[in-house]
Structure 1
Amino acid sequence: MIIGLTGGIGSGKSAAADRFAQAHGIHVVDADLKSRVVVEPGRPALGQIVDRFGDAILLDSGELDRAALREKVFAEPAERRWLEALLHPLIREEITSDLSRAESPYALLVSPLLVESGQHQMTQRILVVDVPEALQIARTAQRDQVPETQVRAIMQAQAQREERLRHAHDVISNDRDLAALHAQVDALHQRYLALTQGAHA
């Protein structure tokens, strides 16, 4: 069974995924990490991105300057669509290959764009880490040291909170401390184990 874990920027997806992995040994595939792998130097996708946007989006090391690229594509919806059309199929291949190696009773696919990218079609259940918008903005601005306006632009590109919750089978409410988050993850882990055993029964 593959469970999709999603939530807006700054919602605590990583903290929830870490708890599943470290406390319960669950195989976690992070779509964000896969999105970095497909644009590593030497990968064809990086060449196509440079052809389109120029060398200015490369760091001195030859790696992609993700901040510079983000600025370009969030300002220009047509460019974002071009980039997504290039990268989403490549990211999907990387995710599929990693999930196929999972040995835990179920696996987690962590993705901020689970709903928008169509990646939710690879999962049997969707778990949303939900947090009030004001808290989301405050946490992200502090964590990434970016202005609130940039956080809001990223949030605009992600599914709106209501849309995510509409797809959710399970919801973790992350408006309290880490212990409260862990308790919710632990309870869901038991529930998912019961579901996988039911599927095998």
Structure 2
Amino acid sequence: MAHQPLDDLELETLEDFLESDQVHEECQNFVMAHGFLTALSICPVLTAEEKWLPVIFEETPKFDNEKQEKQILQYLSRLFIDIQIELESEEGFMVPCELEMGSSPEELSELQEWATGFMEGVFMTESHWFESEKEEVVAELLLPIMVASDLFDDEEVVQIRQSEKLTNSCIAQIPEVVTDLFLVLRTEPEKRPFPKAQPKAQGNKNKKKSGKKN
């Protein structure tokens, strides 16, 4: 049977479930899960569903019945495939939220949640992202997502986030760098992009401050 992309109603059902009382308080919401699965889709080594599902849920949800359980698990599996297909099309990646930061440190924007989920996927499969000949390019491309997430306190990330202009310049590049990361890690050398000049894109790229949104 041919793959069927999730339609609007199915996406809404999945989004509502991930925000419901049926899941653990630290369950990823839809935007975080999308970011997480995007990173796993870019990783050159496939992560099995039985490994990534528990990360999304934190603990097994309280499903109403077997029908609902089957439906939600199927929607997540199809979302994973939808993201892979979008990346493989190389037609421009769409982040499922506005490219903007939160107005206060206490309240993360959807982009910050998406970036947090993405980086959690990177941490989960880190050894496959930072092979010796690709490490510098990958770290440079990850910088805009690092800036958008709430996980890093590297000096260069902090400096960028202190400037609204630099921050907005960085996060505007996220859709493009997602595609570029896919090209670097998943395609032949002749299709790989040259690394882009990022503001202050040097230093320790793997310093993690926290792993879940509050």
TM-score by length of 1: 0.30
Structure number having the greater strand percentage? 1
Q: Which has the higher contact order (CA 8 A, sep 6+)?
A: 1
